[in-house]
Amino acid sequence: MTQPTRLWGGRFRTGPSPALMRLSRADASYFRLVPYDIAASIAHARELVRASVLSEAEYEKIAAALVAIGRDFEAGEAVPTETDEDVHTFIERLLIERLGTLGGKLRAGRSRNDQAANDLKLYLRDKVRIIVLDVLALQQAVVSQAKAHVDTLAPGFTHLQPAQPVSFAHQLLAHAQTFARDVERLRDWDRRSALSPLGAAALTGSALALHPELSAQELGYDGPCENSIDAVGSRDHVAEFLFATAMLGVHLSRLAEEIFLWSSRQFRWIELDDAYATGSSIMPQKKNADIAELTRGRASRLIGGLTTMLTALKGLPFAYNRDLIEDKFTALETVDTLAAVLPAMAGLVGTMRVDAERLARQATDGFTLATEVADWLARRGVPFSEAHEITGALVRHCEDRDIGFEALDDEDLAAIDARLEPAIKACLTPEAAVAARTGYGGTAPARVGEQIERLAAMLDEQRRWAETYAGPRG
């Protein structure tokens, strides 16, 4: 019977117990890192040629075998077995099976410590581009809705109470701005993560792989890590990735929460497309925003992943410790979560139908034009403290009579305060209120249009960044 391939054990008198192997063996999901380990293995094989450990002919055989293993793995023809402890063991087993003793030469000058750190970093640098493209698809859905509703009036809320009229596009673009920052955080993360740990070996660097700057270049990095102990013992790049994605999850959850409100029978601002809603098994009338609910729930996983990684890192001595295997569990789950959530949210937002007339009718509910009264008085020299009190008295008067500002006549205004002249009525429309906010970043339609243009340019630049990454050169 063929003995299982192990990357350690020469000094042990017995093999590992089944309990140890069950705990130690990598989760099946970790084997998605095979293509990245193969790319790094080819780069390492070139290093061994430079070190005269491999001949050019041996390198060619190993590189060809690695490419074939990668191809067979993608086709499902090369499958890890229960005895393959991890990705590295799996690939070495296949190399030895296909090349004999030559396959065992590739291990020289490297360690699972730098391999593990490198594989996940390559994977995340690759996947972060896909995450960004998925965020941009959601952004495009938000921007498309915003373009259609620049002139749609809506009530703006603070403390979930009606506050002031806004352009509904402005409300949508508030979410777009948070997602744009999420993308910038991921891009900034990538800049700091563009250093290769390969060549650090176990902790001190390799006595054979002496040109990590060359393998770094081949793998699409900017250069090698400065310190070999840090290279294998740090995972702040994983924690930072998890923070950026957890923040993205929080922003997705906030958008989801507003979608609940907007689609509720109490608001009825939007109607969800049937393809992006679900029903009830017992209540035939129900139309539920399940995508938004699932998104809100999955945000907790993203936050939990960050907490797990930070807790695993806390108090760890340098260099490598096996606790660091938690980096893969948290990072891979985060990637999978966003791969499911982002396209669903993009579809939901892109297909929702906005009831512009209902929004306009609600734009002045709750005396949202009260600030216009106070501002009008302030522009005429009334101290704002007094203007605030006068406006409060006007609201109280209307509440007592169960009327809105639109029902006030000249006598009503004068009875509250002589400075409330009839000319104030020109300001007491939602159109006037929105149009008055012409400062940079304000809700005036002209400013909102400019915001859309600037955002569109930013999204185009972010897309170019995501689409131009070449990754490892095999």
Known catalytic residues are: 159, 280
The residues that bridge with 166 in the sheet, in sequence order, are 154
Pull the structure tokens for residue 146: 């915003």
* Alpha-carbon gap, residue 148 to 252, rounded angstroms: 22
Concatenating the DSSP letter of every residue in 76-88 gives TSS---TT--SHH
End-to-end CA distance of the chain: 35
* Residue 200 to residue 111: CA distance in whole angstroms: 8
Q: Which amino acid is at 145?
A: Q
Q: Which two tokens stand for residue 342?
A: 């982002």
- Which amino acid is residue 161, in one-letter code? Q
Cβ–Cβ < 8 Å for 451, 173: yes
d(CA 415, CA 228) in angstroms, rounded, equals: 80
DSSP letter string, 383-420: -HHHHHHHHHHHHHHHHHHT--GGG--HHHHHHH-TT-
Per the CB < 8 A criterion, the answer to whether 142 and 177 are in contact is no
Helix (H) or strand (E) holding 456: helix 445-467
Q: Which residue has the tokens 């907790």?
A: 300
CA atoms within 13 A on the CB side of 327: 27
Distance CA(116)–CA(313), nearest Å, equals: 16
d(C-alpha 390, C-alpha 377), whole Å: 9
User: Smallest Cα–Cα separation from 334: which of 431, 238, 403?
Assistant: 238
Tell me the CB-side half-sphere exposure of residue 403, using CA atoms within 13 A. 10
The one-character DSSP state at 470 is -
Q: What span, in angstroms and rounded, lies between the C-alpha atoms of 150 and 445?
A: 6
Give dist(CA 395, CA 164) in Å, integer. Answer: 14
Task: Tell me the one-letter amino acid at 294.
Answer: L
Q: Which two tokens stand for residue 157?
A: 């809320």
Long-range pairs for 156-161: beta carbons < 8 A, 24 or more residues apart: 156/368, 156/443, 161/366
441 contacts: CB under 8 Å, gap ≥ 6: 447, 451
